[in-house]
Structure 1
Amino acid sequence: MSEICVVFGAGEYYDERPAVPQGAFVVAADGGLDHARALGVSVDVTVGDFDSLAGSMPECDERTVKLPAEKDDPDMLSALKIGWAQGGRVFHIYGGLGARVDHTIANIELMALLAEHGGLGLLHGDGQIVTAVCDGALRFAQSDVPPGRMVSVFAHSDVACAVSESGLKYEVTNATMTRTQVVGLSNEFRDGLPATIDVRHGTLIVTFPAEAPLPQLVSHRTFQGDLGELDTEVSAFLHQ
């Protein structure tokens, strides 16, 4: 089992080549299999209803999980559930940004879901990474990211308490942020300094440039539970 999981989605790849660490568990979410094939990446599991797959269907074996078209969970969440069950706690997700804006919003929400279970999700795309942190800190090693490459922080929970940002151009100490406040936009790394984005209580969405060092997640509490079983049905409260 690997703590690192790489997920291929069906969104935009922006002419960027995904990095697949050695030993990582690799999941293709539906049309993400087309991208994995094009890049010559071997996939451990493919999951989806295959409505966005352009190429041939994968073989029907233990490495393929075919889901019904009508269900609650998007294919990306199903991919994350499979990766989590395999021991994944750090998720590198490609093809999760761009294309349909509703899918982009959904995938950002899923980064918060991972964070609220003690995991770390990293949405890669267009030279940026989108992640989330809950009741914890993201610690970045010192870097030489050039000026003008922005770090932004948003409250995802209704209230995020004791938010601090150190090692950035604009430092924040023990602030309270709310979901409808936009006060964490357009910060920057400082040359040669490590940086930390910390929230004691609540969940933050964080965006940062892809050339920055990947952050280390430090949790302030013990998280429990998993992402649940794969969803194969529509909730009873939904009616067609």
Structure 2
Amino acid sequence: MDAHVHYLRMTMNSNTCVIFGAGDYYDEISAVPSEAFVIAADGGYDHAQTSGIDVDFLVGDFDSITGTRPTNDDHTIALPTEKDDPDLLSAMKIGWRHGARTFHIYGALGGRIDHTIANIQLVALLAAHGAIGYLHGDGAIVTAVCDGALDFPTNDVAPGRMVSVFSHSDISTGVSETGLKYELDHASMSSVRVNGLSNEFLKGKPSRIEVEHGTLVVTFPIEAPLPRVLWSHGFTGDLGALDTSVSSALAQPGDRRSGTPAKM
């Protein structure tokens, strides 16, 4: 980015939310900081119980829990099956309302490919509001950054462990990658052109991935140190209110056959 851009840094006291989803865990250990706000999204509750992790909230339509579901209380939110928001987004909204702006999400990769795609979209949603989300799984982390940069400190990641960058936005401009095996300087990326695949950290060197305008999805090895997150401006808005209603967009039975508008 241009030298005159003033970066906003995520402070060290930013609240952290850990979310357990219903996907694969790959026998990896889930790290839960001592002060983190912990949420189980539906079947993620099974993993939390198996791992002996206490959760602060449980949310979902409970179609994927295999164990015993806790009794309904102020910390359990049941959602309808026919809803707009996926369980993970509902969990994010709860974490956001609690003050979290850093989200570590386990069980969100692998399993159903449609869930994986949806979860990548959700970390891009966090990025668009000035937050950061990390999807952990299968030896990798997936994150997103909007109008900002990821500063990776010096590391000793082994060669052959890939760092890849994709444009989530239709167009992302001013994309630079420095300190990596292949460097970019103010490149443009699009959501339909792949030109950031299969890069690598350089052992003993810090690196940076940045975008002037747009949202990037970034994948990197799980053993790499987490980046410092910076933005070129502040963000407004939030993730919206928790939606516990049946989707109003659903067509009623017979409406599509008759061609008449659905009664919402």
**Shared fold, TM over 0.5:** yes
Picking from 214, 238, 247, the partner of 1:202 is: 214
Picking from 36, 45, 55, the partner of 1:43 is: 55
**RMSD in angstroms over aligned alpha carbons?**
1.1
Q: Distance in 2 between matches of 1:31 and 1:238?
A: 25
Q: Distance in 1 between matches of 2:146 and 2:187?
A: 15
The runs of 5 or more residues in structure 2 that have no matched partner are 1-12, 253-264
Q: Residue 259 of structure 2 aligns with which residue? A: none
Q: Distance in 1 between matches of 2:116 and 2:150?
A: 22
SS at match of 1:89: strand
Offset of 1:57 from its aligned partner? 1.3
Percent of residue pairs bearing the same amino acid type: 64
The runs of 5 or more residues in structure 1 that have no matched partner are none
Q: Residue 99 of structure 2 aligns with which residue? A: 87
One-letter amino acid matched to 1:99: G
Report if aligned partners of 2:151, 2:206 keep a CA contact under 8 Å in 1: yes
Offset of 1:231 from its aligned partner? 1.3
SS at match of 2:47: helix
Q: Residue 221 of structure 1 aligns with which residue? A: 233
One-letter amino acid matched to 2:219: T
Point out the structure with max Rg over C-alpha.
2
Q: Distance in 2 between matches of 1:180 and 1:101?
A: 19
One-letter amino acid matched to 1:207: T
Q: 1:59 to 1:237 in 2, by over 3 A?
A: closer
Q: Distance in 2 between matches of 1:182 and 1:212?
A: 23
TM-score, normalization: structure 2?
0.89
Count of residue correspondences: 240
Report if aligned partners of 2:80, 2:246 keep a CA contact under 8 Å in 1: no
Offset of 1:2 from its aligned partner? 6.3
SS at match of 2:125: helix
Q: Distance in 1 between matches of 2:144 and 2:154?
A: 20
In terms of mean alpha carbon deviation, does 3-12 or 53-62 score higher?
53-62
The equivalences for 1:80-119 within 5 A come to: 80-119=92-131
Q: Residue 164 of structure 1 aligns with which residue? A: 176
